[in-house]
Amino acid sequence: MTRRIYRLHVACVILALLFCLPTFGDEPAPRAPAPVMTFHGAEWLERPEREQEEMPAEVIKTMGLKPGDVVADIGCGTGYFTRRMAKAVAPDGKVYANDIQPEFIEMLKVNCAKEGITNFEPILGAEDDPKLPKGGIDWILLTDVYHEFQQPKPMLARMLESLKPDGKVALIEYRLLGDTAAHIKKEHRMSVKQVLAEWNEAGFELVDLQEFLPSQHFFIFKRDPDRTK
């Protein structure tokens, strides 16, 4: 499939999904970053219901993680997804577990130790830099965290630099439109339109948009060769 035909196919899929999604009410604009959830919310990140609500096994399956992959979990919090990805890429793969709160980094270490997980590297990042190795990441995962980035533009730029040429990003955000995520505050939700406007401008190209999660959009991005030459 040529690049032109491939992009036309992806565009048609996106349009079809957009028309199928609930569109109750108008989207607020412009979007402002939401307040950052502090480490005091750790219990929410480890709630038992998360298994059904966010389907981590299906997320990892969709990403196609395999042994030997080098991945990053940005905004890792307590390490809920870090631990699962570390098992998926073991024994030779590695997870860079990033967060800007040192308290979360310490919780991550404790939780990984409890499960005997060692193939991860904790990284205390900054609001404008995840501090990942350049050109070394196969997959980056961001789960319900991008909307809290206080400096999204430099973060997206650094993330792009950290990807391998064929690296991808999995972005999960609660749906702004409709009522599937009505239990989440509006400032902690995003629409497809909002995400694409910011990520396309930053040099990312949408590869796929999955909607199997009960309350969340699941985007997969790669480097846009036309914007990052």
Is a pLDDT exceeding 90 seen at residue 201? yes
Is residue 227 very low, low, confident or very high in pLDDT (cuts 50, 70, 90)?
confident
pLDDT at 121: 98
The Cα 135–Cα 165 span in angstroms is 7
Interatomic CA distance for residues 82 and 75, integer angstroms: 10
Distance CA 103, CA 124 (A): 10
What is the pTM assigned to this prediction? 0.87
Among the listed residues 215, 221, 228, the one whose alpha carbon sits nearest the alpha carbon of residue 195:
221
Nearest to 156 by CA among 219, 74, 41: 74
pLDDT (0 to 100) of residue 7: 52
Where does the pLDDT of residue 27 fall: very low under 50, low under 70, confident under 90, or very high at 90 and above?
A: low
Proportion of the chain in helix, strand, coil states, percent, rounded to 5: 40, 25, 40
Q: According to the model, what pLDDT value does residue 14 have? A: 52
Asked if residue 86 has pLDDT above 60, the reply is: yes
213 pLDDT higher than 60:
yes
Give the pLDDT score at 229.
57
Q: Where are the domains of the chain?
A: 3-223
Q: Which of 13-22, 30-39, 193-202 bottoms out in mean pLDDT, i.e. has the lowest?
A: 13-22
Q: Which pLDDT does position 31 carry in this prediction? A: 84
Average pLDDT of the residues in 70-92? 98
Mean pLDDT of 86-98: 98
pLDDT at 149: 97
Name the average pLDDT for the chain: 90
Tokens of 40: 């005091």
Region 34-62: mean pLDDT is 96
User: What Cα–Cα distance (Å) separates residue 57 from each residue in 34, 51, 80, 130?
Assistant: 27, 8, 11, 25
- Confidence (pLDDT) at 122: 98
Cα–Cα dist 85/197, whole Å = 28
Q: What is the DSSP letter of 68?
A: T
CATH class of 3-223: alpha beta
Q: Give the angle subtended at the CA of 178 by the CAs of 175 and 184, to the nearest 5°.
A: 50
